[in-house]
């Protein structure tokens, strides 16, 4: 350390001490020092290194050593994003002291009415990106039934320039991919210039309902509230908008107790023809992360849940496919 730098530090320390003593001296005019257990001086602005704000970081505290130590540890808030500024006023300080067993009547405040606190941050941690991305998805869910978010990985830390002043974050949802995945991109702008970005992928679970058999249900029996219960569950895909309890449907084959009832296990009491012979249909293959469609021609009439022959229009290949309620067909593998 140079002698010039050392001199500046000494002068600054002397100036701060002198200023504090001057403030204390002026405050003593209004009342006796013994009337107060703590004397706290609040500056107008303060820059801290950590993201958690404590009273000891943003003020000068005088008094009995154990009481000063207790007051110094009192939390006043937390920085949620780089570049954020937090305003702390006198009522907030007195309230936090009172919550920690230090009555306002035993405290003398001096200095500014409000403190503007900002963070001296040069690195944005990967965990911070995850926190911001999760908050964004919770406020802007890909589906209203969003249930649980699990980050696939934590992105790398981002080092900011030493001259960083105005830091802003631009958050957006990266579209595409399977419903069981969601990806958020967070762009970082310093003084209006984009200096980098991080992507945070999540595994997504959705709140859904399912029908579970209470007892063994024989083939041909009707589904009702007496033999089926509706339970809440988590699924990789959102619940269909037209989902309803399968009450009134007929069981195609025996369903053991404690079995989740799938659409292909039941059918309407009087099934209607959904796909007619020679009708053009959409062949739909959907697996996690991939959706394939092709055009086909039905070789005979088909009802929901039935398997019929379908000819691929392009390849002329004939396959067996199950008829879906929406009129599409799903190949049998």
- For residue range 9-52, what is the model confidence (pLDDT) as tens digits? 333 343 434 444 444 444 443 444 457 889 999 999 988 877 78
Q: Where are the alpha helices (DSSP H) in 100-229?
A: 126-139
Indicate if 230 and 285 belong to the same structural domain.
no
Residue 86 CB partners (closer than 8 Å, separation 6+): 53, 77, 79, 116, 117, 118
Indicate if 225 and 324 belong to the same structural domain.
no
Report pLDDT digits (tens) over 136-146.
Answer: 999 999 888 99
Q: For the residues 277-293, what does the mean pLDDT come to?
A: 89
Residues in a beta bridge with 45: 116
Indicate if 29 and 107 belong to the same structural domain.
yes
Indicate if 103 and 14 belong to the same structural domain.
yes
Residue 198 CA to residue 203 CA, distance in Å, equals 17
Indicate if 13 and 77 belong to the same structural domain.
yes
At 198, give phi and psi (nearest 5°). -135, 145
Residue 119 CB partners (closer than 8 Å, separation 6+): 47, 48, 49, 50, 51, 79, 82, 83, 84
pLDDT of residue 299: 95
Report pLDDT digits (tens) over 152-177.
Answer: 999 998 877 655 567 888 999 998 77
pLDDT of residue 268: 81
pLDDT of residue 220: 87
Instruction: Count H helices and E strands in the chain, helices first.
Output: 5, 24
Indicate if 79 and 24 belong to the same structural domain.
yes
Number of domains in the chain: 4
Indicate if 75 and 160 belong to the same structural domain.
no
What's the CATH code of the domain at 315?
2.30.30.760
Average pLDDT of the residues of the chain: 84
Range scoring the smallest mean pLDDT among 32-36, 222-226, 295-299: 32-36
Indicate if 278 and 232 belong to the same structural domain.
no
pLDDT of residue 25: 40
pLDDT of residue 20: 41
Give the angle subtended at the CA of 125 by the CAs of 121 and 131, to the nearest 5°.
Answer: 110
> Which of the listed residues 119, 136, 153 is the one where a domain comes to its end?
119
pLDDT at 53 over 80: yes
Indicate if 12 and 108 belong to the same structural domain.
yes
Indicate if 136 and 72 belong to the same structural domain.
no
pLDDT at 129 over 90: yes
pLDDT of residue 4: 41
- Whole-angstrom CA distances from 56 to 52, 64, 75, 236 are 11, 14, 9, 47
User: Can you tell me which residue has the tokens 């419903």?
Assistant: 179
Q: For the residues 192-220, what does the mean pLDDT come to?
A: 92
Indicate if 14 and 112 belong to the same structural domain.
yes
> Which of the listed residues 119, 152, 182 is the one where a domain comes to its end?
119
> Which of the listed residues 267, 288, 312 is the one where a domain comes to its end?
267
pLDDT of residue 164: 56
Report pLDDT digits (tens) over 87-124.
Answer: 999 999 999 999 999 998 999 999 999 999 887 766 78
pLDDT of residue 84: 74
What's the CATH code of the domain at 77?
2.60.480.10
pLDDT of residue 165: 64
Structural domain boundaries enclosing 262 = 209-267
pLDDT at 83 over 70: no
Indicate if 19 and 92 belong to the same structural domain.
yes
What's the CATH code of the domain at 247?
3.90.1210.10
């Amino acid at each position: 350390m140079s002698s010039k730098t050392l001199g500046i530090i000494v002068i600054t320390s002397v100036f701060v001490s002198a200023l504090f003593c001057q403030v204390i001296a002026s405050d003593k005019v209004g009342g006796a020092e013994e009337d107060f257990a703590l004397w706290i001086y609040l500056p107008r602005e303060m820059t801290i290194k950590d993201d958690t704000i404590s009273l000891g970081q943003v003020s000068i505290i005088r008094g009995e050593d154990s009481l000063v130590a207790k007051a110094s540890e009192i939390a006043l808030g937390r920085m949620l994003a780089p570049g954020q500024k937090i305003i702390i006023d006198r009522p907030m300080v007195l309230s936090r002291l009172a919550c920690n067993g230090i009555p306002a009547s035993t405290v003398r405040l001096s200095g500014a009415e409000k403190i503007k606190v900002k963070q001296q941050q040069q690195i944005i941690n990967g965990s911070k990106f995850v926190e911001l991305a999760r908050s964004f998805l919770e406020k802007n869910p890909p589906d209203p039934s969003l249930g649980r978010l699990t980050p696939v990985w934590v992105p790398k830390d981002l080092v900011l320039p030493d001259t960083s002043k105005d830091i802003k974050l631009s958050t957006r949802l990266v579209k595409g991919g399977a419903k069981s995945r969601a990806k958020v991109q967070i762009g970082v702008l310093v003084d209006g210039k984009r200096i980098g970005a991080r992507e945070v992928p999540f595994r997504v679970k959705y709140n859904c309902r399912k029908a579970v058999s209470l007892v063994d249900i024989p083939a041909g029996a009707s589904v009702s509230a007496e033999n089926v219960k509706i339970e809440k569950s988590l699924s990789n895909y959102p619940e269909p908008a037209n989902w309803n309890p399968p009450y009134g449907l007929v069981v195609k084959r025996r369903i053991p107790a404690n079995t989740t009832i799938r659409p292909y296990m039941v059918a309407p009491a009087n099934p209607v023809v959904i796909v007619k012979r020679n009708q053009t249909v959409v062949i739909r293959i959907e697996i996690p992360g991939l959706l394939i469609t092709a055009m086909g021609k039905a070789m005979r009439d088909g009802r929901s849940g039935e398997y019929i022959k379908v000819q691929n229009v392009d390849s002329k290949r004939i396959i067996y496919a199950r008829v879906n309620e929406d009129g599409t067909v799903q190949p049998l593998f």
